[in-house]
Amino acid sequence: MTQRRPAVALLAAFALGAFCVLGFAPFDAYLAAYFPAYFAVWPAPTLALGGLFLLWRGAATMRQALLLGLAWGAGCFLFGVSWVYVSLSQFGGMAPPAAAAATLLFCLYLALFPALAAGLFQRWRGNSLRDALLFAGLWTLTEWLRGSLFTGFPWLAIGYSQSPPSPLAGWASVLGVYGVGFIVALAGALLAAGWRRPAAWAAILLLLGAGGLLRRMDWTQPVGAPITVSLLQGNVPQSLKWDPKRLPLSVDTYLRLASEHPATLTVLPETALPLYFNEVPRDVLRGLTRHGDALFGVAVATTDGGYTNGAVTLTPDLVAKAYAKRHLVPFGEYPPPGFAWFFRFAHIPMSNFTAGPPRQEALAVAGQRIAPNICYEDLFGEELLGALPTATLLVNLSNTAWFGDSLAQPQHLQIAQLRAIETGRVMLRATNTGMTAMVAANGVIAAALPPFVTAALVVQAQGRSGLTPYARWGNLLALLLAVGACMTALRRRRN
């Protein structure tokens, strides 16, 4: 049905994009606190995409479709990644008007991807339930493109909203987060286009049921004995972290936490010690390894005069091995070509890291083989697969103090839930201000510290071996599914 009031349709698209954000953390926790038996947030993105599907089908022109996709994306990203403004203004030293403008432009850039999907859908759509396949395929391909182009930014990929208890979470072990996004988009479109048709409801129930069955499957097996891990959360304010006068207090905080919470493995967050590794006093290193091995984030100098964002394992004999962060954050950790001027407006310490090699071996520590990833690296699920099947545990070291008390921290923990399901591995998270947690191999948060407290989380972590289908094939299966859905819809339309 052609839209007769385009302005109202644009407002509806914007509102649907904002509504979609309710499907992500932390809104699930908010509702559970007040309505534990009545509400779930994971259907919100399905409903939001179903509404968007109807709007796209009603677009009369390519221009209108593009604007609808842009409006949906603007609503989603302006509400969902507003923490970019916090990072730039409060901790990056950028003037508030400049930070607001930069955040707006960034969100509009992200909105170009649903706009691209909308334009292609308007160009190729027919007038049947097969449009649901086209919608889901295009949505998945443009989300993958957003997560890949210009180093990628897959934050708020729809699949992340389906962390447990959503039954669709089980699909992540086979298709990964983009494949889960395909299922959500397909279910939303089927619901919108065929809510009166038994076949559409049967397909939706089949998707939900298959996801529930996949959640029960054990693709990986325990290996070795569980180890005691102490995850330290120093809660050092970002505004003080790089102050040389604060350094002794930061060091003392971590030494005290390590001493009071002994474990086989002690884990500190990203750049926990604002020094180069070779500058850390040996008595500090001995203090961190007094009860066992340690893994901590620290800058590591390179032979060519640069430095990497590193994760260093250390034994009580002070034998060290290091992992170097591979996927750096543009503007935060290095200046993209042609953007050196950006750092005249923002003041970000240690913002010119050198990237580590693409493939690095898992680190042997505390009787396990650990695959570290640092902060934002765990957004890129396929990049974590290189350490498998050797790695038995995943460990994320983050300094989320950059984002203040915002949506970023619970959203990042939700991302870790999907990584655990995709790999069939426990994901341990040590963060500066939150959310420090252990995520079980089935994606359930087994234990977590409250944010913005100085504390340690002591857990029993079980290593696992074996490979999930996603760990074997990466994003290939999801992309083939998306391409196949588009081709099926287009072939049937031509026939």
Percent of the chain with pLDDT over 90: 73
Q: Is the pTM above the cut of 0.75?
A: yes
Annotated active-site residue in 325, 333, 377, 486: 325
Residues 6+ apart with CB under 8 A from 489: 124, 126, 130, 131, 133, 134, 137
C-alpha to C-alpha distances, 109 to 22, 320, 401, nearest whole angstrom = 21, 42, 25
Q: Which amino acid would we find at residue 355?
A: A
Q: Does the pLDDT of residue 270 top 60, yes or no?
A: yes
Q: Which of 70, 85, 193, 194 is nearest to 142 (CA)?
A: 70
Annotated active-site residue in 20, 76, 107, 375: 375
Asked if 87 contacts 433 with a C-beta cutoff of 8 angstroms, the reply is no
Rounded mean pLDDT, 86-103: 85
Percent of the chain with pLDDT over 70: 92
**End-to-end Cα distance, the chain:** 23
* One-character DSSP codes across 409-440: HHHHHHHHHHHHHHHTS-EEEEESSS--EEE-
- The pLDDT score that the predictor gives to residue 87 is 83
Q: Mark whether 245 is an active-site residue.
A: no
Annotated active-site residue in 143, 241, 270, 422: 270
Q: Which is more confident, 82 or 128?
A: 82
Q: Which is more confident, 155 or 491?
A: 155
- The pLDDT score that the predictor gives to residue 257 is 97
Asked if 194 contacts 200 with a C-beta cutoff of 8 angstroms, the reply is yes
Q: Mark whether 270 is an active-site residue.
A: yes
Q: List residues bridging with 294 in a β-sheet.
A: 266, 314
What pLDDT, in 10s, does the model give residues 180-194? 999 999 999 999 988
Structure confidence at residue 48 as a pLDDT band (50, 70, 90):
very high
Question: What mean pLDDT, rounded, does the chain reach?
Answer: 91
What pLDDT, in 10s, does the model give residues 225-241? 999 999 999 998 766 66
- The pLDDT score that the predictor gives to residue 247 is 83
What pLDDT, in 10s, does the model give residues 439-491? 999 999 999 999 999 999 999 999 999 999 999 999 999 999 999 999 998 88
Q: How far apart are CA 468 and CA 272, in angstroms?
A: 33
Q: Does the pLDDT of residue 254 top 60, yes or no?
A: yes
- The pLDDT score that the predictor gives to residue 235 is 92
Structure confidence at residue 94 as a pLDDT band (50, 70, 90):
confident
Q: Mark whether 325 is an active-site residue.
A: yes
- The pLDDT score that the predictor gives to residue 406 is 87
